Structures are given as structure tokens and as C-alpha cells.
Amino acid sequence: MAYINYNGKIVDECQPILAANTRGLRYGDGLFETIKFKHQQIILLDEHLSRLWNGMKWLQFDIPKLFTPDLLEKHIYALLQKNKLNAARIRLTIFRGMGGIYDPINLQPQYIIETYPIAIENKQLNTNGLHCCLYKDALKSIDAFANLKHNNYLPYLMGALYAKKEKCNDAILFNQQHFICDSTIANIFLIKDNIISTPALSEGCVAGVMRNFVISNLKSLGFNIEEKKITESELLDADEVFLTNSIYNIQWVATINNKNYRCQTIQQIDQLLSQTNPLVFC
């Protein structure tokens, strides 16, 4: 039996908890974080919770004084202990409760914490590169909410279904101006002539915690990093491509459609980050 935390109470994961008129269910009114726990540490927790609080402000949640990052951290550790996990993927979902679009009963956050076991061995760069495809049926909007990790996930969901249909590991999404945005579960980086490029936040990609970590650390290590608009042709002309997220750190992309990519600089990056940040790149 596994357990979840619902608004501070640990309950059986199979127990019904949501009313039919919950705004999070009706409208996707909320946010989420996916966080890694290994070696008795919640990885980059402060960065995840900072992004979460920023998102709640943008979505105009009424945040009670007693609802704090320290409270959520306490509940996360308690749930990990209850589920007897040594390594886990944590999903923290924030949503509003009952009400319609114009008449919510309250604007305060409700929350669900879930934990799922993951392998405990040290994380290594994938030797079998990912096979990705390009998904263009749903274009990511560029607006004030584009960088948030919110529950309005339709473009990413449909991209993931497309990738599954095409027998790909992941799909690359475009923004409404037809520039590269991100993948269904990760931020994307490309390498060309020793320059590392990634879509700027102004291009509508999610403001990934691992994205920010990789950019700041690679700059400190002397790599040339650009955040900019990236066209489809630039992506397909790249020498190397990799994805980043908080669970897998860095993943090498071997192919996009029929284009093959090398893994030389990516291996160097992964080794350097593993040496300088062993806890994060575990």
C-alpha cells in the first residue's frame, strides 16, 4: 500500500479526495513540481519551491501565512518516510478548491504530495541516445504564464501521445511563432561549433530548475551559452542536442527525425557537472 499527502494529511493513495467541482479538476487551475529525492536529500528543493511560490503569485493564489515552504518540506519528508522510500520522484501539485470561474469559494491553495520509487544507483548519462520527433499540432503560447509549470498541460500531453504513436522517446514542441520551445518533459539545448544554445524564456519554454542550474554552472565553467530564438533548421543543423529536467539531469538526443547527433561535448559536460556538483548530478 502506498500513501499520499492531501492538505497535510497522509491518506491511502486510492482514497477519493476531490469534489467534482474542484477548480483544479475543472480548469487545470494550479501548478506542479517534479522533484528528485536521493541519498537522503531532496535535490534543489529551494529552487523548486521558489518557482512554485512565484507561480502561485502569478496565478493569484491567496497564500495563508502558515502555508510556507518549510511546511511543505516537512510534509514531503514525512511522506517519504511513510512510504519507506530511499530514492523517489516527488510530485507536488497545488490547486484551487471548489467553485466556478467567477465564484471560487476561496483562492487558497490546496495540495497533493505523491512519491514514486526510482532506482538508487548513481545517475549516468544515457549511452543509448534518445530518439525524438517534431510535434507541430499544438503550439505553445508566449504569454505571462508560459514559463510556469502549470496544470494546463495540453500541448505537452498531446506531444507525448504523438511521440508514443511515432515510437519516439520524446517530442519537441514549437511556440506560436514556430520557433523551438522545449520537449514534452524537458528543456532543450543544442551545440554547434562549441556554442551551446537553448530557447530563451521569452520563447515560452518552462523555466526549468535543471535548465537554470545547467546554464549557470556551464557559464562558471567557461562554456559559451546563448539563450535565444532557435529555428527548426538550426536544431536540425546542430552537432549535438541534449535535454534537461530534474529527474534525469542531462539526456543525450541521438536523433531527431532522420538527423543523427554526436555526444562528444555532452559527455564532457556531464562529467564536469558530476564532478563539481555530485549531490545534484547523482
CA-based angle 128:132:138, to the nearest 5?
155
Mean pLDDT of the chain: 94
Name residue 113's beta-bridge partners. 5, 92
Confidence of residue 99 (pLDDT cuts 50, 70, 90): confident
Pair type for strands 195-199 and 224-228:
parallel
pLDDT reported for residue 186: 98
Quick one: three-class SS letters along the chain? CCEEEECCEEEECCCCCCCCCEHHHHHCCEEEEEEEEECCEECCHHHHHHHHHHHHHHCCCCCCCCCCHHHHHHHHHHHHHHCCCCCEEEEEEEECCECCCCCCCCCCCEEEEEEEECCCCCCCCCCCCEEEEEEEEEEECCCCCCCCCECCCHHHHHHHHHHHHCCCCEEEEEECCCCEEEECCCEEEEEECCEEEEECHHHCCCCCHHHHHHHHHHHHCCCEEEEECCCHHHHHCCCEEEEEECCCEEEEEEEECCEECCCHHHHHHHHHHHHHCCCCCC
- CA–CA separation, 138 vs 153, rounded Å? 11
What backbone torsions phi and psi does residue 36 show, to the nearest 5 degrees? -100, 140
- CA–CA separation, 225 vs 73, rounded Å? 33
CB atoms within 10 A of CB 229: 14
What backbone torsions phi and psi does residue 198 show, to the nearest 5 degrees? -145, 150
219-248 residue pLDDT tens: 999 999 999 999 999 999 999 999 999 999
Domains of the chain: 3-117 (3.30.470.10), 130-276 (3.20.10.10)
Q: Quote the pTM value.
A: 0.95
Q: Cell for 199?
A: 530557447
Confidence of residue 122 (pLDDT cuts 50, 70, 90): low
Q: Cell for 210?
A: 535543471
For residues 114-137, average pLDDT? 90
For residues 256-263, average pLDDT? 96
For residues 155-167, average pLDDT? 97
